Chains A and B, each alone.
Chain A
Amino acid sequence: MVKEIERYGIPIVHMSTITTISESVGANRIVPTIAIPYPVGNPTLSENVELDLREKLVKRALTALTTEVSGVEYF
């Protein structure tokens, strides 16, 4: 899906845990995430700490969207 959306010229960032799969399916901008059942979370942390973690990852995603890349790049 990531590849097809990018084909329209829309910059897209793939946030996923198994990043080798992201690369296999053609994602360019990739943000590695925490774990499979909670990519942008962590239930072992307290609520506020978990929110900070999620914010950190989203910030990386936005950085990815504003960075020119020429191929696969991790953020």
Chain B
Amino acid sequence: MTYKVLYYVNQFFGQIGGEEKADIAPILKNEKIGPAMGFEQLLGGEAEVVATLICGDNYFNEHEEEALKFIIDAVSEVNPDIVVAGPAFNAGRYGMACAGVATHVFDELGIPVVTGMYKENPAVDHCKAKAIVVEVSDSAAGMRNALPVMAKITKKILKKEELGMPKEEGYFPQGKRLTVFSNERGSERAVKMLVARLKGEDFETELPMPVFDKVEPAAAIKDIKKAKIALITSGGIVPSGNPDRIQSASAQKWGKYNIKDIESLKGGYYTIHGGYDPVYANEFPDRVAPLDILKKYEKEGEIGEIFEYFYTTTGTGTSVGNSITFGVEIGKELMDAGVDGAILTST
């Protein structure tokens, strides 16, 4: 028996276009497109990809309800045995789209879903409990390694074989607790772990505690008309020529530019962010970082003043570690400068 697979990709992997096509509505094609072709070969004849669903990353994230309506109807019609999405690697929008498809297909149609994402993709947490999310590298260069792992897991699910532990099979733990037999009593294991810990030796917890790092909201500004407001963006808006060579993806640095003597970013700034269609931001960068309005408000007395430095970096593909460092460094400057509040825009 050959199982049926339906494959979901974005506009780029669906070979429609790049960022300029990120706004396309979903379409269903009764053929294998892009990674679906290589994926089918890895299934060794045990399953075939009968259709590919393609949806623009921006369209999905900006019109989720309409996108899902089409997608769920399409999946329902094709009635596959499994849905495979992505892999999305570290792409935030693509990841969120795969996660949306995964959770809705699973919840509404009861069809299993396999996808692949990099560990820092914000979408992992949104679907790892309902889909099998294979851990893949942070860029499409890792496609060769990602697809075989996804295919192996897909075959197991289709044949209703039990999946091994996440670490063995290569997918993110789903938060499921499994009762297993052990040679040693719990008390023995606990004492051994404690002794190891006291000695400073390595040990592995049997149950990792979730880490919730939430920050207390800062107190509100009491008098906005006296406040100094800072403008920051992760939209990669930089002075023309990108003098500090901020990266277009996976930023290694941030920039700060004196905007005291300009009324808007138009003309002197553009975007180097590689994760969205730059046309609109290049025409009018204030569409990403609203300096023009803040300047207007400063003149009209709606705010005390706008902080003379504008901070910028590129969000796409930037590691969590770097983002934390940037936030700590920029935050310190704002604090030292007596900034009362900040606006951070993202694309």
Contacts and interface: CB of A to CB of B under 8 A. Distances in A.
Interface of A: 1-18, 20-22, 24-26, 28-29, 33, 35-43, 50-51, 54-55, 57-58, 61-62, 65-71
Contact of B213 (A3, A14, A35): A3
A71 B330 CA distance: 23
Contacts of A12: 218, 341-344
B280 A41 contact: yes
Nearest to B303: A62
B242 interface: no
B61 to A, nearest CB: 5
B10 interface: no
A7 to B, nearest CB: 5
B241 to A, nearest CB: 21
Given A37-B281, A43-B283, A6 B224 contact: no
Given A37-B278, A58-B297, A62-B229, 5 more contacts: A5-B342, A11-B217, A16-B347, A37-B281, A65-B220
B343 A13 contact: yes
Interface stretch (B79-87, B148-156, B287-295): B287-295
Nearest to B213: A26
A15 to B, nearest CB: 5
Contacts of A71: 217
6 contacts: A5-B331, A10-B341, A24-B122, A29-B217, A38-B287, A66-B224
B126 interface: yes
Contacts of A61: 343
Interface in B267-315: 276-281, 283-284, 286-290, 292-294, 296-297, 302-303, 313
B277 A37 contact: yes
Contact of A11 (B219, B276, B313, B330): B219
Interface of B: 19, 22, 58, 61-62, 92-93, 96, 122, 125-126, 213-222, 224, 227, 229, 232, 234-235, 276-281, 283-284, 286-290, 292-294, 296-297, 302-303, 313, 323-324, 326-328, 330-332, 334-335, 339-347
Given A6-B215, A17-B62, A24-B122, A66 B331 contact: no
A26 B218 CA distance: 13
Contacts of B122: 20-21, 24-25
A20 B96 contact: yes
A11 B221 contact: yes
A59 to B, nearest CB: 8
Contact of A41 (B222, B229, B286, B334): B286
Nearest to A3: B215
A5 B287 contact: no
A56 B280 CA distance: 19
A16 B286 contact: no
A37 B273 CA distance: 10
Nearest 5 pairs of A and B residues by beta carbon: A4-B327, A41-B287, A1-B327, A16-B346, A5-B331
A3 to B, nearest CB: 5
A55 to B, nearest CB: 5
A38 B288 contact: yes
B287 A40 contact: yes
Contact of A57 (B126, B283, B290, B346): B290
